[in-house]
Structure 1
């Protein structure tokens, strides 16, 4: 019956329509009832949009309220991920990049595959590794572990534990070692692998070309109608959207600080750019440019893993947020950040704003008030630069307070290209000025620094540790000997032990200690002496002979003991009192601030052991082992070397050492050679000697202190023995001034002295140094009495050329070898030492090749010598100390060349540069005249 009815065409049509109607009703019920809430939310989300409002970063001001870091409004291109359909994303991305490029605006490009001029596809990660290798002369090194080992040997690091080696690398200025000791891979290689795995690319060894097309074709499915260049521009945007993850409601910053012309074009094309929005966001601005750059620091993108963990995962930052990387910007990141707000708006189908429903205002970050005096800071920076350039030219530095010829004995000091000055308030420990030269403009980093600008901040010769480094905070990161600036501590220790300041020691020119002659500087220069001098004159004239005697507790002038007890424990104790073995407590660069270092027996022994280990590793071969006693192997050789090194503290007799060498398995002739080397060149030198005390007493040897530490030391001398932590921050204040957090001076202690009036004896000697002795010429026109001390720190060694291989090739003829012979020898050495990572270093192998062809050659004979460091430190005014100053000039030659800087700072601080105007008394520095 039913089948009969179905034969009727009319019934079939009715049945079909009924079924279709039922399906529609069922689907409608599903949409409205079962999935109704979900679709309602989706509909609302297409109408309602929540736009985050970034908070203004807190300002940074000087102690008097002068703006040093603020904000300005800027246009930012944002894209809302959930507002752009998959069918439109490619077109929108390409259009927005085209507009930005046409208007020459920068955009966030983090897609890690680029095209070279030759059309090759290259991972940016690989380029970073190659550039790092080039900067460190490691082009021929294949693996990360080999590079690590080559650097360890290059810098004479004796530790065998990779963790300890890394810690030593950190102490080397501007040396970064981007190698994971856990995986023995380059950090950039690990980042590349992580990026590929995030796209489910299992073969992390594939080429950039292969990876590019997998991402293009299989992940983003970009149609073939787009060229690879267009596809990359699309992927630049999609990479940014992808990093946003599940936070689709958060806009992604495509570009920041774009031009008005780009804004107009984007607005005019808004109908073709769904999901794209122009927002006004604050951009960091440093109105004083380079001034106080190392104090303020700079900003950058969240990039390192620890930054991702700390800021994004723990504190809820957006991946596109900018954070403080150095200086106050880094140390007070959470204080300066503020709290982002939001606004809920209604938009049309094209994403255009219709109305604002509600707005939660962002809360700006707190304002940080520094201890820095901006006017003084400006003067300090200007004078530091002027004096350095005068020294380089060998010219005359002249102001109303004096004129001084700054010419080295051998001519202009052309390498005097860097320096640092620290000025502190001796009554509080507050830093009034901290200047380094060269410096940089932190505005370059506000929206992301360009490659060109970054390269301009990198030294041309990275192998030269004293090459100008604009990003280096010399004041906190450079620890070196302070020379004669240290002598006041030795003098204080002497009179604290009971030596009268009036006790005079006869300067006989030099003191012979074994095979070493320790001369007074005047004797070394022209073979004259200073006669009888007490403490005051010895400080004023920087009499080495006097301090040699005091430190050893022996009057070398008359050949008898001084009437005091003196030893190294006492000297080290007084050195520590002045904070020279500790960090200064300053708020910036805390992890990287050098803590300096006081010489000691332990440190010397460690150094000697390291030198012995290096020597044995270079000289001792497997062939030196007697195969009738032991089974020679590289592992056994390492064990034998370590055993020999471990005898250093014991320092056995020669006979015992020789017997031990034989027992270790060395051949008799080799055992004799290594016995003499170990005994007489190393073991005997490991113990502390009179010669070491001589060097200690005049600030040479292993003394290592920073300009910050020296400024703190001067402050303690000046203020009666009160030791403060140095500080850069006075207070933090909320934007509405309802909350203020004070950072009062931190008094660590009043150092323990037998008699605090002994400090007056030291200060008087420093006063004489600037009023009667050698430094008088720099201060004879200054109407303020000051106390200061010159210091000259020796810098041994040769200046490395930019390209060592090029240098060697240039002088092959002078070295007495031919290029063909050297090439053949290099090939031979590399073949014989395939397993030795050191021979992966081109420079090392080439030097070894030349030396093997001409063993007597001096390969460094055509390199320039380093000049001495210049120190000048002291306080002012002499009678009522208010400020302490430390000055360090790289390769500045004479210690006195820092005195003009000292003089000009005192003149500015004391108001001597003020001028009288008709409308009243106005303080005006020479910069603003």
Structure 2
């Protein structure tokens, strides 16, 4: 019967399925019951992990392969968010940070609630903002007024907030923590960051004014941190929580808690690994600069991904890890994606205690590409050394001596105690490549390799924030300081004269000074000693830096002979040639600082715009609604703004004073105010707005509205020496891939040969530059140098007073000179504060004290108050090329507050000697040069 049923195909299929099901059931029973315990133990004790392997950052080397930026191994502590037990996170966090602190290791701390020195609790956002306000004297001032005050303080003319902010940010070491976005305009960014942080932690809008300690307690409850933990312990837990939270959208990637920790800390972490689930220690490469400070301003420095635009680009777009370090400035920033490399990973099996059991798969990291620069390590080192040593000699009245010359900076006129900074640029004339670039003072980029400490960062800040020329280690003077070129610009004016047809042998009689519109424009020798230089041709005028000659040349009038020159000259022609030499453009060098300044060639249009902007600032400060005539116009802020715009519209026309008076009455200015405003507007602004002969004279000697950087001036010298060929300035030679050896070259880029009528005119100009060093005022710097050089000195005027470190103390120290007593001033200060409670300016003690002094003694003016402050000294320029008969390198030296142009001579000389190999050691002759400062 059973066999008969088997003959039925349907029954056979049912039987087969039944057997298979029985086998599966038996196998499952074996796995779950017989072998279940073993498999359960394996599943509990084996965990698969993907451990990222950070790629070593690409190296940076000089033109000969000398290492400038490399890597060294270090220990990094990481936490895997998806592997940490939420019930143990508080205990793990505290234990880990205690281990790090015991061994003196730093860890990432971005939790913004701290306990201050006086025991109070505060948000770091509030602390930072208060410190910024105190530094700039803006206590109690809102964002809009602070922004406008910064514009006025630093002479920013742009009305558009975005353009104005760009100009402010370009000023050395100035921070502008004020939002200019339409939706949050004039809010302090620290306030916005604080609100964003509170919102991200679940606080509602009405809670944004919560006290720091209350916010802390609320978060403590949220994170279930027991009361048994002290504030310090609870905060450590929140430090880790903050790091994990900030990378929540990348929960499967590790979060770096600390980098470059000590071997002792590593040992302790490994010993306690079973109590630290989710924590791992990996070996990673960190940046290392073997030469320390050398070429720091070229290389740049690193930092953590912190700003929103960095998060958007690097983390969200390029998939960097939140704890990654990126290039912030210089070549490290410009070539970030080239130097970064490609991260690898290890897929490993670990037990429940985190111990490695097996490496299942490994993808090696690919190092970043090697960046080869055009600079010469030895020349760079010599450039920095000479710049530092000569500056020290100038400051102290010491002696700088080498085989190639001895120079002593003594006497009252010789010492320049504020000459504490400077820059040097050396270019290859034939290629535009940078051979060395130095800015002093400098810094050690190793400080930034894993994130700079607060103390180290503070050490890099200027002692006096209010002093724009105070030494700033982070400032790249060579690229970001644009000033008047002084007499180094005269060669260009001489070239324009030749191009317009003037003979180089045409002589102009120097009569000492020229009177123009009530102003006297004197030659420097006349101004110093009342002497003249007699008849001089172009070469003589360049050699002796004859202002009188170049005044005449630029204006097209021979003042010595009292007749026009036989050529056509105009401001437009001068401006055109200046732009041809690239002085209105960025050089294109591959460095982010964050931006290379382009300098600025004076322009007729810009002068008008500048005066209009100054007039607008004046009217914004002075014209009040009570100055409006209510019989003609409503006394409203809108009408004040409309009147200001009307007045500005008359600037191009420059109406007569009588016409201006009538118009002021017509638009609604009170009768008693019309004469005052009309005189100021007419004579201080409208009459100054149009280009004048005086402007042309200032233009001719490199004063006025010129502003160029050292790298622009070095490029200018290179073009002069190289028959008019203009190259793109570059500091990078090539990149090389470590993975496959691919080389990407950065070839020499000839932009153009500038347009000239006769290139032989350049020889006439450089001949005069040679005379400067051969027979002129700088010959004492070069009489021992066996290499002929061509150069030109320059002195750029710097007007104004140096702001004291403490304005209030300065005022108190000079009250007797102002004819006032401290008691009377303090009483008047209190009175002014009480009567101006709504005016935020009166919350600044220095401002109030100045106003009080003027009220107590009405004869005292602002200029009288400031007269006891120290004057700024002039900028020193020394530019040129070498050798004269075979130009190879162009050099520009700039020394802020260096006083006199010649002081850059020893720096120029020593760089030439080094480049030409004169300092090389010869076994037969002792040619080793020892540069030293003598007391």
Structure 2 length as normaliser, TM-score? 0.92
After TM superposition, the structure 1 stretch with the greater mean CA deviation from structure 2, 180-189 or 496-505, is 180-189
What are the Cα deviations for residues 111-147 of structure 1, in whole angstroms up to 9, with x where unaligned? 1111123322111111111121122122232x32232
**Partner residue in 2 for 1:794:** 797
> The residue matched to 1:855 in structure 2 has which SS?
coil
Distance, in Å, in 2 between the alignment partners of 1:116 and 1:349 is 41
Q: CA deviation at 1:644?
A: 1.8
What are the Cα deviations for residues 54-92 of structure 1, in whole angstroms up to 9, with x where unaligned? 000000000110000000000111222222212221111
Q: Which runs of 5+ in 2 are unaligned?
A: 1-24
> The residue matched to 1:551 in structure 2 has which SS?
helix
Q: CA deviation at 1:925?
A: 6.9
Distance, in Å, in 2 between the alignment partners of 1:222 and 1:46 is 30
CA 1:831–1:172 in structure 2 vs 1: closer, same or farther (change >3 Å)?
A: farther
Q: CA deviation at 1:676?
A: 2.0
Distance, in Å, in 1 between the alignment partners of 2:241 and 2:170 is 40
> The residue matched to 1:257 in structure 2 has which SS?
strand
Q: CA deviation at 1:590?
A: 6.6
Within a 5 Å distance, the mapping from 1:684-723 to structure 2 comes to: 684-723=687-726
Distance, in Å, in 2 between the alignment partners of 1:923 and 1:266 is 56
Contact 2:402 2:931 in 1 (8 A): no
After TM superposition, the structure 1 stretch with the greater mean CA deviation from structure 2, 592-601 or 547-556, is 592-601
2:188 to 180, 183, 186: 186
Q: CA deviation at 1:205?
A: 1.5
Contact 1:770 1:776 in 2 (8 A): yes
**Partner residue in 1 for 2:3:** none
> The residue matched to 2:57 in structure 1 has which SS?
coil
Contact 2:402 2:929 in 1 (8 A): no
Distance, in Å, in 2 between the alignment partners of 1:408 and 1:197 is 63
**Partner residue in 1 for 2:448:** 445
Contact 1:476 1:589 in 2 (8 A): no
Distance, in Å, in 2 between the alignment partners of 1:149 and 1:823 is 28
> The residue matched to 2:362 in structure 1 has which SS?
strand
Structure 1 length as normaliser, TM-score? 0.93
Distance, in Å, in 1 between the alignment partners of 2:330 and 2:157 is 32
Within the alignment, does 1:883 sit opposite 2:882 as a pair? no
What are the Cα deviations for residues 638-691 of structure 1, in whole angstroms up to 9, with x where unaligned? 332332232111101122111101101223332122222222222112111111
Distance, in Å, in 2 between the alignment partners of 1:645 and 1:697 is 30
CA 1:504–1:707 in structure 2 vs 1: closer, same or farther (change >3 Å)?
A: same
Contact 1:140 1:842 in 2 (8 A): no
Contact 1:407 1:413 in 2 (8 A): no
What are the Cα deviations for residues 819-838 of structure 1, in whole angstroms up to 9, with x where unaligned? 34333433444455455444
1:607 to 610, 627, 641: 610
**Number of residue pairs matched by the alignment:** 892
Distance, in Å, in 2 between the alignment partners of 1:320 and 1:100 is 17
After TM superposition, the structure 1 stretch with the greater mean CA deviation from structure 2, 685-694 or 295-304, is 685-694
CA 1:217–1:724 in structure 2 vs 1: closer, same or farther (change >3 Å)?
A: same
Distance, in Å, in 2 between the alignment partners of 1:621 and 1:663 is 17
Q: CA deviation at 1:164?
A: 3.2
Distance, in Å, in 2 between the alignment partners of 1:261 and 1:925 is 46
Within the alignment, does 1:302 sit opposite 2:341 as a pair? no
Distance, in Å, in 1 between the alignment partners of 2:425 and 2:324 is 33
Within the alignment, does 1:864 sit opposite 2:870 as a pair? yes
What are the Cα deviations for residues 563-593 of structure 1, in whole angstroms up to 9, with x where unaligned? 1111111100110111000001011027521
What are the Cα deviations for residues 849-894 of structure 1, in whole angstroms up to 9, with x where unaligned? 3223323321101100011100000000001100000000010011
CA 1:664–1:189 in structure 2 vs 1: closer, same or farther (change >3 Å)?
A: same
What are the Cα deviations for residues 792-824 of structure 1, in whole angstroms up to 9, with x where unaligned? 011000000011122112222222223343334
Within the alignment, does 1:518 sit opposite 2:521 as a pair? yes
Within a 5 Å distance, the mapping from 1:877-916 to structure 2 comes to: 877-916=883-922
Distance, in Å, in 2 between the alignment partners of 1:669 and 1:240 is 65
Within the alignment, does 1:346 sit opposite 2:349 as a pair? yes
CA 1:824–1:640 in structure 2 vs 1: closer, same or farther (change >3 Å)?
A: farther
Distance, in Å, in 2 between the alignment partners of 1:927 and 1:535 is 37
**Partner residue in 2 for 1:136:** 136
Distance, in Å, in 2 between the alignment partners of 1:667 and 1:144 is 32
> The residue matched to 2:88 in structure 1 has which SS?
helix
**Partner residue in 2 for 1:175:** 174
**Partner residue in 1 for 2:631:** 628
> The residue matched to 1:843 in structure 2 has which SS?
helix
Within the alignment, does 1:78 sit opposite 2:78 as a pair? yes
Contact 2:400 2:408 in 1 (8 A): yes
CA 1:280–1:335 in structure 2 vs 1: closer, same or farther (change >3 Å)?
A: same
Contact 1:459 1:469 in 2 (8 A): yes
> The residue matched to 1:915 in structure 2 has which SS?
coil
Distance, in Å, in 2 between the alignment partners of 1:789 and 1:610 is 35
Contact 2:367 2:739 in 1 (8 A): no
CA 1:908–1:44 in structure 2 vs 1: closer, same or farther (change >3 Å)?
A: farther
Contact 1:477 1:706 in 2 (8 A): yes
Distance, in Å, in 2 between the alignment partners of 1:646 and 1:818 is 47
CA 1:43–1:636 in structure 2 vs 1: closer, same or farther (change >3 Å)?
A: farther
Distance, in Å, in 2 between the alignment partners of 1:579 and 1:590 is 20
Contact 1:770 1:788 in 2 (8 A): yes
1:724 to 723, 727, 750: 727
CA 1:106–1:684 in structure 2 vs 1: closer, same or farther (change >3 Å)?
A: same
Within a 5 Å distance, the mapping from 1:45-194 to structure 2 comes to: 47-141=47-141, 143-182=142-181, 183=184, 184-194=186-196
Contact 1:76 1:257 in 2 (8 A): yes
Within a 5 Å distance, the mapping from 1:559-570 to structure 2 comes to: 559-570=562-573
> The residue matched to 1:916 in structure 2 has which SS?
coil
